Structure 1
Amino acid sequence: MLLQRVITALVLVALLLPALLVDNLLPFAALTLVMLGAAGWEWGRLNGLAGPGAWAMGAAVALTCAAAWWAGWATTAPSVVWWLAVTCWIVGGGWALRNGPAAWPQLPRAVRLVLGWLILSIGWLALAAAKQRGLGFILSALCIVWAADISAYFGGRTFGRRKLAPSISPGKSWEGVWSGMVGAALLAWGWTALQSAWPAIAPSVFSVVADRHGWIVLLMGLAAVCGLSVMGDLLESLAKRAVGAKDSSGLLPGHGGVLDRIDALLPALPAVMALAGS
């Protein structure tokens, strides 16, 4: 299993890194569009679609992303799109997590499929928009989620006492969530210190938001982004638990499915874009 995880991770890095490094949006947008289409296929399967139905779900996500790309929204999407996405995540995600796995299948399948389509399409749009803001911006945006996840894991293992959502993900604790927020704040401090020492470093989410709104808003925003990333993780766990699935698929050997790797990014990236502004 470890060897599989390492090989899959190396392949993903080999594909994503060149697409990230080039200034042209095309390679990154195309690669991530395929990935989000695969995630759409996984979402369809988790919500009762099989065969052609699941493929149609994946195609719907990919075509929506391609249409948004063609329309220029990867560079010109207004801030209201991101704020609406964040609001929907807070309201809808909060409702789903409060009611738990038992209530999820009671939602009409069409509603669950439309929710997945919107979540994945807007997630891709935020990913493409972040890439368009520059390498430093998108790397720092991704690192917020990764730093929060790693800090939450170790903080939860060390200090975890109060369960966050035992019916959905028994391993998560409130102490883990707070540790993730601390980890993101430390990342922001370290990154901006590095930028101060080497001004040639490309602008990051931290410098953009701090220059625009100040450090207090940045720290509050990072806490919100971390909270939303946890919500994305829990929502996918809820959908899997409702059907008794361990992973969203086996597309990424050793890692599960695409959704298993991007679930925390889906609400976090629109929140980052909302903070940074147009």
Structure 2
Amino acid sequence: MLKTRIITALVLLAVLLPILFLLPAVYIGAFFLVALLAAAWEWSCLLAPEARRAAWLYAFFCLTIILFLLGMQNTAWQFSLLISAVLFWFFIAPFLLAKGMNLSLQKLRPFYAVLGLIVLPATWFALAFLRELGLVFLLSSMALVWVADIGAYFVGKAFGKRKLAIQISPGKSVEGAIGGLVLCYVYALLCVMYLPFESTLFGAWAIRFGWVPMFLMVTLLCAFSIFGDLFESQLKRLAGVKDSSNLLPGHGGVLDRVDALIPTMPIAALLAGLV
């Protein structure tokens, strides 16, 4: 399993790194689009495992929404999509997570189907917007999610005792979440100290609003990266599967890899818009 994970990761890096550093920005947009369409296909398969053909149609609907909003060239519509996604993560997702496994996927299937057509396109537009602000701006924002995950994993392994959401994800602990948050603080501080202020979200916030608001922003993004992970775990458990798919050997599905980015990137894009 470890060998397979490493090989898959190396292949992805071999594809992603040239796109990031050698090709125009449009190519990274295309890469993100393919990834999110794959995530949309997996999302549909979780909702209706027996309807694999419908999953392709669902991914096509997701593509249609993105292309339509791009073609309209109306930033107000794109902004409305981002706002809709962020409002869901702030006001509805916590309620659903609090329900644990006391939900009926069959009854909520129409809701989740509509939801995916909002949060997945919103994630793509958020990533595209952050890329417009600069490659470092994009990567440093995405890296916060990975830092939170790494910190939570190692601190949770070493000190985790109190379960964060035992019904949804038994492996996650309160201590791990705190460890991930602390590591995110360190990461954001290093970004502010060693990178140009305008090149990262953290530096831009620190120079515009001050250190305390910047650290509060990091807290917010870290918390919602956990929300995204837990939300996908809850959806998988309701669907009765371990992974969203087997598209990435050794890693599960694309949705398994981007779940924490789905809430954090739209929020990060809106926060970046403030500065």
Distance (Å, rounded) in 1 between the aligned partners of 2:212 and 2:23: 32
CA contact (8 A) 1:119 1:266 kept: yes
Q: TM-score, normalised by structure 2?
A: 0.92
The aligned counterpart of 2:58 is 57
Q: Deviations over 1:195-235 (max 9, x none)?
A: 2xxx5x97111111212221111100111101101010011
AA of the residue aligned to 1:152: A
AA of the residue aligned to 1:52: R
Of stretches 170-179 and 12-21 in structure 1, the one that deviates more from structure 2 is 12-21
Distance (Å, rounded) in 2 between the aligned partners of 1:23 and 1:277: 26
Give the aligned CA root-mean-square deviation in angstroms.
Answer: 2.1
The aligned counterpart of 1:34 is 34
Where do 1:9-88 residues align within 5 Å?
9-22=9-22, 24-49=24-49, 50-72=51-73, 77-78=78-79, 82-88=82-88
Structure 1 position 260 matched with structure 2 position 251: no
Q: Percent identity?
A: 41
Query: Among 215, 228, 246, which residue is 2:211 paired with?
Result: 215
AA of the residue aligned to 1:253: P
The aligned counterpart of 1:193 is 193
Structure 2 runs not aligned, ≥5 long: none
AA of the residue aligned to 2:232: E
Structure 1 position 248 matched with structure 2 position 244: yes
Structure 1 position 269 matched with structure 2 position 265: yes
The aligned counterpart of 1:225 is 221
1:59–1:227 Cα change, 3 Å: same
AA of the residue aligned to 2:165: A
Of stretches 11-20 and 101-110 in structure 1, the one that deviates more from structure 2 is 101-110
CA contact (8 A) 1:164 1:174 kept: yes
Matched length: 273
AA of the residue aligned to 1:164: L
Does the residue aligned with 1:256 lie in a helix, a strand or coil? coil
Q: Deviations over 1:176-213 (max 9, x none)?
A: 11111111110011122212xxx5x9711111121222
Q: Deviations over 1:129-161 (max 9, x none)?
A: 111110110110011000010001111122212
Distance (Å, rounded) in 1 between the aligned partners of 2:258 and 2:238: 19
1:104–1:271 Cα change, 3 Å: farther
1:144–1:125 Cα change, 3 Å: same
Where do 1:234-245 residues align within 5 Å?
234-245=230-241
Q: TM-score, normalised by structure 1?
A: 0.91
Does the residue aligned with 2:171 lie in a helix, a strand or coil? strand
1:215–1:83 Cα change, 3 Å: farther
AA of the residue aligned to 2:94: G
TM superposition shift of 1:63? 2.0
Distance (Å, rounded) in 2 between the aligned partners of 1:259 and 1:213: 34
TM superposition shift of 1:254? 0.8
Of stretches 106-115 and 247-256 in structure 1, the one that deviates more from structure 2 is 106-115
CA contact (8 A) 2:69 2:77 kept: no
Q: Deviations over 1:3-50 (max 9, x none)?
A: 211111112112222222257331111111111111111000100151
TM superposition shift of 1:116? 1.4
Q: Deviations over 1:78-135 (max 9, x none)?
A: 4x65454322102221111111223041533211111112111111111111111101
Distance (Å, rounded) in 2 between the aligned partners of 1:188 and 1:239: 31
